Structures are given as structure tokens and as C-alpha cells.
Amino acid sequence: MQYDSKVTVRMKKIEGQLRGILRMMEEERDCKEVITQLSAVRSAADRTIGVIVTDNLIDCISKEDAETFDKNTMVKQSVDLLVKSR
């Protein structure tokens, strides 16, 4: 699968957030602040997973050979991926 630039941008933001959290930990910042930022990273990762699964599903369904695949199976597999990621 080819990943859209929006996914790359999201991942770079997450990477920056993680670096910021590490810096906060090195500075011995309050645990509530660290946890808040970790929660933000988790939320951003969840949203990124959703974007990747959605883009992949759209790509699979819109391909010319999609007629040979069961679209219901593709949707189920996509939902399973989302559930598994939690």
C-alpha cells in the first residue's frame, strides 16, 4: 500500500510529541503533564490507524479487480483491524 502524505505528516507529529515527552521526563516534569501528553499521542495514533484502514479499504474497493473480492469481507477485515488496534 502506498501511504498518503497526510499519514506521513501525522506520524511526524507523533514523533515530535514523543520527543517532547522524553524531554519532559528528563526535566522531571509532573506526571500528570506527562500522562496528558501520552494520552494525546495514543489518541493521535488511533486516529492515524483509522486513516490508514479507511484509505486502504477505499483503495481495495475501488480497484478494478474489486469485483472478484467479497466487499463484505473487506469491510469486516477493516473493522477487525480497528478493533485489534485497541
Block means of pLDDT (10 residues each) for the chain, length 86 residues? 89 98 98 97 93 83 65 79 77
Closest Cα partner for 50 from 72, 78, 77?
Answer: 78
Q: What's the pTM?
A: 0.78
Cell numbers at 16, concatenated: 515530535
Looking up residue 49, the CATH number of its domain turns out to be 1.20.58.1000
How many structural domains does the chain have?
1
Question: Residue 36's domain spans which residues?
Answer: 5-84
- Cα-based torsion angle of the residue sequence 27, 42, 16, 78 in order, rounded to the nearest 10 degrees: 160
Rounded to an integer, what distance in angstroms lies between the CA atom of residue 13 and that of residue 32? 21
